[in-house]
Structure 1
């Protein structure tokens, strides 16, 4: 398969994985997230806190994050060998802890392929408004 075709195939796969991840976040689906997240995950939140995989999944399981709606777009997906970087926008209405939040972020997601499976390695949002 030509290199450009392979990159397009990976982009489509990563877009599907992003959709699956956001759907799992909306549903508080820990099992799906467990499968999608890399063991070395670095997940940064809108206010700068960071979680590893275990910490993030614990918060999802305990419903620390409750997403009421999520809208996202992947504006650009860059593919290099076993790495894909997604630059996009994520907007959501959520309850975080006990606080209602409206989230409006530019974001970067890094996916890596390990042992034949693509997994999210890192996520970094940047708030677009306060």
Structure 2
């Protein structure tokens, strides 16, 4: 495992930890300003709309497990392929999610930032 792989794994841990703990400022600091965050129901958010929904309690993440299958680094982009299994509340409805997912990280001003996220229900 390369140093970059370890860094990306650490960033993935930090972003999920931030969301489950309600530390939305930390999540936002990890995100690219042009974030495209797609949900398993097909809805898509920008960074601003996602943070607004999280801060208002529309999305509440109770528990998240996110095993990573592999990471591909292509230039200044990292593709993270794995799963996102979670217990959440979305719009007042409790849900259990089991998804395959792709997270895209890109270097911006010398730092890796989450640019896109796409889950697919299993």
Range class of TM-score, shorter chain: over 0.9
Q: Distance in 2 between matches of 1:81 and 1:102?
A: 35
Determine the structure 1 residue equivalent to 2:33. 39
Q: CA deviation at 1:96?
A: 0.6
TM superposition outliers: structure 1 runs of 4+ over 4 Å: none
In 2: Cα distance, 1:117 partner to 1:24 partner? 18
1:118 pairs, out of 82, 104, 112, with 112
Query: What TM-score, normalized by structure 2, do the two folds share?
Result: 0.97
Q: What is the aligned-residue RMSD (CA, Å)? A: 0.9
Residue 99 of structure 2 aligns with which residue? 105
Q: How many residues align?
A: 122
Q: 2:9 aligns with which of 15, 21, 27?
A: 15
In the alignment, the residues of structure 1 paired with residue 120 and residue 84 of structure 2 have an alpha-carbon distance, to the nearest angstrom, of 10
Show the counterpart of 1:68: 62
Q: Structure 1 length as normaliser, TM-score?
A: 0.91
Q: Give the equivalent residue in structure 1 for 2:48.
A: 54
* Partner residue in 2 for 1:93: 87
Q: Aligned equivalents of 1:63 and 1:14: distance in 2? A: 28
Corresponding residue for residue 72 of structure 2? 78
CA distance in 2, matches of 1:27, 1:58: 16
Aligned-partner SS, 2:41: coil
SS of 1:46 mapped into structure 2: coil
Does the CA-based 8 Å contact 1:26-1:69 persist in structure 2? yes
Q: Report the alpha carbon displacement of residue 29 of structure 1 after superposing the two structures with TM.
A: 1.0
Alpha-carbon separation, structure 2, partners of 1:106 and 1:81: 24
Paired residue secondary structure (2:7): helix
The alpha carbon displacement at 1:80 in A equals: 1.4
Whether the aligned pair in 2 keeps the contact of 1:28 and 1:63 (CA below 8 Å) is no
